[in-house]
Structure 1
């Protein structure tokens, strides 16, 4: 019975001690916010947890760098305090998937970054994504170098970049040396050469020396060298705004027009001009190839009249006329022809005629551009086929009229063809 009383007393004593400990600290809960302080001040409305004190702080988890990096799936904004190298508070970002060290303004000075070489031994030395050299403040741009940049080696002064100027100190000018050979060097006083230097001999590629392959100065560019005939080879597409030959002939800077040729005045000026037509006598030439008219006329005065030849070898005479002195300049080519069926329909023809059947055995033929009359035209009309009969022509209203009759001289529909000449 006594043992039971002692156990009960021990249990109650623990509860009383815990209650007294809670009374020693004011712990207040207001809605969804919690306040921990010693004076009963309610929490700030925007804070989930409001801890206030004037002589104590909050301890977050403390661990080494290896322990921090071993945390599995750290939450966004997770805070830890690293106790070993690069000691400080670190926070994790799920957006970048990296830990970042919280630093103070003084930590960003170049003096602190490069003081003992520890920070400079990292992959990068930077301030908020910007890099600075020689500046004891935050840089104003992505990279800022104060005063000047000096690249110096051996006993020579080096390359300096100061303000808007770039220059080289020392009597040797710009020089890049590598075991006695140079890609860029100063040679012969003020001359600068891009080329090859070995055992005191310069074989330059680009230089301000006129004896070199490519010479550059303030007024001209010379391409020269020791190759045979001073030849120059250009490969690929080369664009030239203007070109001058032997300081005398300069080429035009415009494109000219289609069909123009390059002409010189004999005094150094060249220009685009249209070729002038010159007289010639074809009779004193012997053709070595076919003459191509290319759809043009063989004309006396250069106009669009005369003889044309199509790709099938057909010869076309202007206005359909071919004349010769043998027949008194009469037209040797018919101006119209055609084959007319007994129904009045038109078969093969010269393309400039039409036929209408007036009545049985009577046909009117219209010739485009012509007003047919008996005194101005000569016509040949012939019956086609084995039908016997008669055929004769006449002029009616500017048209050629053809009459067909059978052997009994009665009007009969008969097939015929006709040919019309214009003497």
Structure 2
């Protein structure tokens, strides 16, 4: 009986002691050091660690209603410490720590990755934007981006319809250059030789534009410019040239002219002028064998006109006509030239007996002296002679 009483008293003492320990926290150490007041469990050792339950992935997922915050060590399928960040009914197991294993989002390798106030720096410890990289960035290292795909490209926006991707051949993953996408379509392509295509994925020239292009400022070509000509042979070579306002060649075009040339010009075909043809020098044809040539500062002009008359005169007899108008007025007295007889009708004599001499010419008209230089009577009812007046404008 005495022994039973003693055992009962010892059991009560142990229960009291345990209750006191749980109330104050539990300490496990080799020196009977009391637990830290802030800890429910305080384990201290200099040569031993602590083991929590170790289990496989399937065993972990077999835990019934795991508490939120429950920790286990998983031994397979990316081993590491995991905790339940979900609820007992809907657990969500997450790996613990930023360097806990191969499955971690961040694995330190030296000191190249830095986080500062929401900015991430790679290769720099002072990132100035959300992501700052102090070296090159490699996209699609595994060459997985296929033809016409933005899967492994540098994309923008939630729908990923805009991006930069490597130019791929539809014959396989052969990198040919660089493409810029908008609306999920390739808009600008740079091929492996450096040719740039806009609206075409196979540029044949340094700049190959398929469609309408607009330049609001200066186009400068140091060699040749071909418009409608793939291989120009001249500094400006067009298939059908058309300029809306003014063109200057060798000079800035004067506002009074649609075409302003500085230097010699050559026309190898017909030239048509629908208005006046004005020259500020001589008008030359075939190396100075021109139609009209002036050695003064006055421009010359040619005016055709005709002289019609009748004659009935014996040998050596003639007459003087009245004033015959040129049809235009000159600034000075022109030279009058009698050309061919265009019409003639009569009853006697020969046309070769006619002698027609311009007489008393002035700026607006001339007279003619007509003489029968034959040996008999010259009787012509109608004679028309083509004439030219050549003089200052």
Asked if Structure 1 and Structure 2 have the same fold, meaning a TM-score greater than 0.5 normalized by the shorter chain, the answer is no
What TM-score comes out, normalization by structure 1 length? Answer: 0.29
Structure with larger RCO (C-alpha < 8 A, sep 6+): 2
Q: Normalising by the residue count of structure 2, what TM-score does the alignment of the two structures yield?
A: 0.31
